[in-house]
Structure 1
Amino acid sequence: MRKLLMIIIVLLVLGGGGGGAYYYFVVMKNTENTEAGEEQGQKEAGKQEHGEEQGHSEFVELDPLILPIVDNSGVSQVVSLVVAIEVPDQSSKDKVKAMSPKLKDAYIQDMYGMLNQQAALKGGVVQVAMIKERLNKITADVMGKDVVGDVLLQVVQQRPI
């Protein structure tokens, strides 16, 4: 009788584990795919960029920019930025890659001056919106307005020294 009871308990545990695995891996995955597909469809239907329908975009990620913040007592902080540039097509991507040294130079010159004048700091914290706005302006000046769609800040890290 004990053996029969043990076999029944083992079968119930294995059946419950199998049923749980089926539910988790099959049923839940199907509902996630359905929900994700609906959300993605809604997002794609509603997306517009700068008044135009959004097509396929390419992204060019630049090397990290490391900028010191200098005050009266010397270097007080270091700000690291990782910038990605959104372009509409492959030819624009190639142009941005070719001009990336000039872009980085323009970024460093502008950001170094702005950060050291404390223009982009509020309470000692970097104002990301202001930095992004300036990077967009610099990029449009260097590359032209038709070449670049947007400048994206991937990482903004501020470290005291």
Structure 2
Amino acid sequence: MKKLLIALVILMVLTGGAVGTMKALGLGPFAAPEAGAEHGAAKGEAGGHGAPAKGQGDAHGAAASASDLRPIKAPPVVVPLLTDKGVAALYQIQFDLKVPDLDAERIIIKEETRLNDAFVKDMHGFLPRMLGDLGRVDKGILRKRLMMVADRTLGAGVVRDITITNVLNRSQQ
């Protein structure tokens, strides 16, 4: 009887440890739903939604006004422009991400490091090309590019809009 009780206690400790580990790592039943699997969409379905209600826009709130979006301040993206002699200029882009709901806000918070890394990597190649072509930073083009990176990184619809608040040029003259 004593051996059975010890075996039962050991089994309970191991089970508790396994469940705790799965929860901490987000595995199994504790895994976050995939971006495309929200709202009951199965793989291969066109989104898992029925037709939108009359006058209500699509189910993702595309008809929602800008005031319904929740702003999230993104960390600044710093992009050095390099030449043969070193750093020619240092651009700092400050912007806010606009999300439709609390679920999207949680995704942004969870994926902030990955999203910021994607912004920095993309801007290292894109910003020098834009400056070479236009000779200046066009906030409209920059906003579209940041939206494209956000959609590619987090999935379409998580970030609904981006407001660029400031683009600083710190030239190394």
Question: Normalising to structure 1: TM-score of the pair?
Answer: 0.62
| Aligned-partner Cα distance in 2 for 1:130–1:72 | 27
Using the alignment, how far apart are the partners of 2:152 and 2:134 within structure 1?
30
Shift of 1:102: 0.6
Answer 1 or 2: higher relative contact order, Cα 8 Å, separation at least 6: 1
Runs of at least 4 residues off by over 3 Å: none
Q: Which has the higher strand share?
A: 1
The equivalent residue for 2:11 is: none
Query: 1:95 and 2:107 equivalent?
Result: yes
Gaps of 5+ in 2: 1-60
SS at match of 2:68: coil
Letter in 1 for 2:112: S
Matched, 1:139 2:140: no
Query: C-alpha offsets along residues 122-141 of structure 1, whole Å, 9 cap, x if unaligned?
Result: 56422322221110100011
Q: Aligned-pair distance for 1:51?
A: 5.8
What root-mean-square deviation, in Å, do the aligned CA atoms of Structure 1 and Structure 2 show? 1.9
Q: Deviations over 1:40-85 (max 9, x none)?
A: xxxxxxxxxx961326211111111111011233211110011211
Match of residue 162 from structure 2 = 151
Instruction: Select the residue among 75, 93, 96 that pairs with 1:63.
Output: 75
Question: Hey, what does 1:5 align to over in structure 2?
Answer: none
Q: Is the 8 A contact 1:126 1:158 kept in 2?
A: no
Unaligned runs of 5+ in 1: 1-49
Matched with 2:37 is none
More helix by share: 1
How far apart, in 1, do the equivalents of 2:91 and 2:135 lie? 12
Paired letter, 1:144: G
Matches of residues 1-12 of structure 1 in structure 2 within 5 Å? none
SS of equivalent to 1:148: coil
Aligned length: 110
Distance 1:88 1:51, change over 3 A: closer
After superposing the two structures, state which structure 1 stretch, 78-87 or 122-131, moved more.
Answer: 122-131
Distance 1:133 1:70 in 2: 24
Task: Report the Cα distance in structure 1 between the residues aligned to 2:157 and 2:137, rounded to whole angstroms.
Answer: 29
Which residue of 105, 115, 126 maps to 1:114?
126
